[in-house]
Amino acid sequence: MKKIGVFTSGGDAPGMNAAVRAVVRTCIYNNIVPFGIFEGYKGLIEGDIKELSSRDVSNIIQRGGTILRSARCKEFHEKEGRQKAFDNIQKFNLDGIVAIGGDGTFTGAKIFNEEHNIPFIGIPGTIDNDLFGTDYCIGYDTALNTVIEAVDKIRDTASSHNRLFMVEVMGRDAGFIALRSGIGVGAEAILVPETPTLIEKLLEKLRNDRTQHKQSMIVIVAEGDETGGALKIAELVKNLCPEFDTKVTILGHIQRGGSPSALDRVLASRLGNAAVNALLEGKTNIMVGVLHRDVSYTPFEKAIKHHQKLNKDLLNLAEVLSYN
């Protein structure tokens, strides 16, 4: 290994810059030349590749987003596009690549490796935290703290006006953000894609809370909830329980931004370092993660096909603590 490329792909996540920094500086420490690939697979195809120095990654560990940027690339789905990417890898003499992203990123890396035999190591960067093979993905902790800070403020106004707030958080296919943030803010109910949403049961819970003279009620809704998200659920509640003063807040992309938490900075630094070391050890087609506090290695195929499951104990805890 003399030259290693690094890129970020998919949705941005706080801590991606910290991971890029760790990859670059670990390369330099091992006398390897690091290259930044801009806008993910699009940059590979277009040759938007640049050698990075230690100074290029100075003062980025605290920044959200990604200095390498990210983009969707339909051309990479075609064999001709992947051939262009391979030609540019040869042009820059890259011996291996670190890909920071989610399952779509790793799927592309796996296919590319099978076609062109370029070593790839993946780093899990997604606020959804749904990748198999790691306890936490980069960005998840920061997103949680962003949600909790926002909902704490919503609770203030909800209490002032005796209101019910439906707060929608990200999680199209997974309820990790909803579950942990819901517990963290003391939500009256948490609705996630992994469990069925029973409207009548929800209404019964809310009515009971109101009879207990609760001054505010918060329902956390993952955007991928089967009922259709916070707006749809609020509409149902308004129709069936017009006595509730029901409001909706969709937090949206605010959850992706912001300065990464200490946990995300340290996690990203560990995984960036581990990814380079994995390439030096001859590993390929794997995702580096952290399981039970130790660095772990999971084949792309397994990380892509399997998804981390919600902790049943946390689901039970949420129900117990919201009991009135």
What the chain holds in terms of domains, given with CATH numbers, is: 3-139+260-305 (3.40.50.450), 141-256 (3.40.50.460)
Looking at the chain, the whole-number percentage of residues with pLDDT higher than 90 is 76
Q: How confident is the model at residue 220 (pLDDT cuts 50, 70, 90)?
A: very high
Looking at the chain, the whole-number percentage of residues with pLDDT higher than 70 is 100
Which residues lie closer than 8 Å to 106 by C-beta, 6 or more apart? 99, 122, 287, 300, 303, 304
pLDDT of 268 higher than 90: yes
pLDDT value at residue 212: 77
pLDDT value at residue 309: 82
pLDDT (tens digit, 9 = 90+) per residue, 157-209?
888 888 899 999 999 888 999 999 999 999 999 999 988 888 888 888 888 88
pLDDT (tens digit, 9 = 90+) per residue, 134-163?
999 999 999 999 999 999 999 998 888 888
pLDDT of 213 higher than 80: no
Q: Which span out of 72-86, 171-185, 230-244, 259-273 was modeled with the highest average pLDDT?
A: 259-273
pLDDT value at residue 73: 87
Conformational region of residue 163, where left means phi above 0, alpha means psi within -120 to 50, and beta covers everything else = beta
pLDDT value at residue 93: 97
Contact present, 287 and 295 (Cβ < 8 Å)? no
Half-sphere exposure of 194 (CA within 13 A, CB side): 17
pLDDT value at residue 322: 82
Estimate the crossing angle of helix 312-321 against helix 176-185, to 10 degrees: 30
Q: What is the mean pLDDT of residues 294-313?
A: 88
pLDDT value at residue 198: 85
Residues designated as active site: 128
Q: How far is CA 97 from the centre of its chain?
A: 21
pLDDT (tens digit, 9 = 90+) per residue, 89-130?
999 999 999 999 998 999 999 999 999 999 999 999 999 998
Contact present, 119 and 4 (Cβ < 8 Å)? no
Q: How confident is the model at residue 36 (pLDDT cuts 50, 70, 90)?
A: very high
pLDDT of 216 higher than 90: no
* Interatomic CA distance for residues 260 and 275, integer angstroms: 20
pLDDT value at residue 227: 86
pLDDT value at residue 123: 98
Q: What is the mean pLDDT of residues 60-66?
A: 97
Contact present, 175 and 222 (Cβ < 8 Å)? yes
Residues across the chain: 324
